[in-house]
Amino acid sequence: MSGQTAAEQKMAEMIVEVLNLEDITAAEIGPEDDLFGDGLGLDSIDALELALAISKEHGVQVRAEDENTRAIFANLRSLTAYVEANKSAT
C-alpha cells in the first residue's frame, strides 16, 4: 500500500516478521489501518511481542500501564511516530 514513509515501512516489516503474519505483507499495512480489532486483528499477546521487539531493536519501552498505550498502538503511523520520537540515539 502506498503512503508509508520509510520508517513506517520498516515498522510494518517488523510487525509482519515478529508476529509471523502469513496472510499480509508489510506493504499492505496502511499507515492509518487499525492494528487491532477489524484492522490487522492483533491481540494483547501480539502487542506484548511487538513491544518486546521494539524494545530490543530501538530501546523504546512501551508499558502496558501507560495511559497512552492504546493510542500508541492504534495504527502503524502512531506506533512508528512514537518509536521514532523516543528511540535511543545509537
Q: What is the mean pLDDT of residues 23-48?
A: 93
15, 31 Cβ separation under 8 angstroms: no
What does the pLDDT read at residue 1? 44
The 3 state secondary structure assigned to the chain is: CCCCCHHHHHHHHHHHHHCCCCCCCHHHCCCCCECECCCCCECHHHHHHHHHHHHHHHCCCCCCCCCCHHHHCCEHHHHHHHHHHHCCCC
pTM (2 d.p.): 0.90
Return the C-alpha cell found at 50: 511487538
Domains in the chain: boundaries = 6-86
In CATH terms, the fold of domain 6-86 is 1.10.1200
Average model confidence (pLDDT) across the chain: 91
